[in-house]
Amino acid sequence: MISGIESVTLGVGDLTSALRLFRDVCGLRVESDTRASVSLLSVWGLPPYADVRIIELSCDGYAFGRVRLAEVTEPEARVTRRDHGPGATDAPTDVGPKALDLYVAPPLADALEVLGAAGCALRAGPVRFVVSDSDSEEALLTGPAETPLLLMVGHRHPQRAQRAVPAAGRTSEVATVSVVVANLETTRRFYVDGLGLSADDIDDELAGDERRRVCRLFGVPEDSRVSLVLFRDPQQPSGKILAVHFHDRTTRELANPMRPGNLGINLFSTRCAQLESLRERLQAAGLAGHLPILHVALGDGMPARVMLTRGPNGELFEFIER
């Protein structure tokens, strides 16, 4: 029914610094630099007089896993996830978006040094573990607007999961967004039965050293149960959702669920060929109520129709029919 995630919108208070990181350090390419139209502001629930600058970046023009930076000028803007450090208002096990997952070239230590020099603070890792047929080395950092960034080296990752190995010192597009989920079955119904994504690659409860290493990476007690399910567009290796479930250790929803105007992760955008069909499918499965479809002008000047839908874990999707 939908594509992989075309872009992840990050609300940032300092657009210049965020652009410097993602463009100049990570090596992503600016595809557009626009202001949000009045119609888009309306869909997002922002006032029509708001002046929101939006910069979309890709990895070498690739259409999926893009980063869309949206300037947030509200002085008291809320942060979608704040689960690290002395000012944390969320727990690491709170339900909602967890991190943007980016591939880097080996060795991981070099990428950590480059991003650390650019102002990204190391939170956890590196750790190395095997899940299904993937051998990963990963570390978690804090990026712009307190956004968690998870850097990955795929020592053995299938081509369906990793599009390409980035050049040294650069990152990939957003390969995956990890999301802490409250209920695996409800989440699976939403992504598979509702959105039509695949869940064939990873669907495991971790055990032994792998479980303990993942717990350390995500900042949860090492005896926590952890299950992972990967949801993806079978045609795209990037723009995936990794559901992370901590079973009885899972806690409440984030204090500030995703929404435009937040700092940090606030919107997932995907393509949809038939919004009415998607809406009917979600409603028939009991996964959504009344979902308006609205006409908007996007940043490229082309008309589109948009339907905003909230998932079972606070995910906010912007389904776009061009």
CATH number, domain at 306?
3.10.180.10
Residues 193 and 286 in one domain: no
- pLDDT tens for the chain, residues 1 to 322: 899 999 999 999 999 999 999 999 999 999 999 999 999 999 999 999 999 999 999 999 999 999 999 999 888 899 999 999 888 999 999 999 999 999 999 999 999 999 999 999 999 999 999 888 889 999 999 999 999 999 999 999 888 889 999 999 899 999 999 999 999 999 999 999 999 999 977 888 999 999 999 999 999 999 999 999 999 999 999 999 999 999 999 999 999 999 999 999 999 999 999 999 999 999 988 888 889 999 998 876 678 999 999 999 999 999 999 9
Report in angstroms the alpha-carbon separations of 136 from 41, 130, 174. Answer: 39, 6, 16
**DSSP code, position 159:** T
Q: Is residue 217 part of a domain?
A: yes
pLDDT score for 286: 87
Q: Is residue 39 part of a domain?
A: yes
* Among candidate residues 249, 283, 300, the one where a domain is terminated: 249
- Whether 299 and 275 share a structural domain: yes
Q: Are residues 109 and 73 in the same domain?
A: no
Residue 236's domain comprises: 96-249
44 and 8 share a domain? yes
Is 199 part of a structural domain of the chain? yes
Q: What are the tokens at 301?
A: 């000047």
Report the SS3 class of residue 86: coil
Same domain, 234 and 132: yes
Burial (CB count within 10 angstroms: exposed 0-12, middle 13-18, buried 19+), residue 272: buried
- Closest alpha carbon to 220 in 241, 242, 250: 250
Q: Does 165 share its domain with 293?
A: no
Question: Do 235 and 262 fall within a single domain?
Answer: no
C-alpha 113/C-alpha 115 separation (Å) is: 6
44 and 10 within one domain: yes
Count of domains in the chain? Answer: 2
| Cβ proximity of 262 and 256 under 8 Å | yes
**Do 102 and 232 sit in the same domain of this protein?**
yes
Q: Are residues 121 and 71 in the same domain?
A: no
pLDDT of residue 300: 66
Are 269 and 181 part of one and the same domain? no
Shared domain for 142 and 184, answered yes or no, is yes
300 in a domain, yes or no? yes
Q: Can you give the length of the chain in residues?
A: 322
Do you find a cis peptide bond into 292, omega within 30 degrees of 0? no
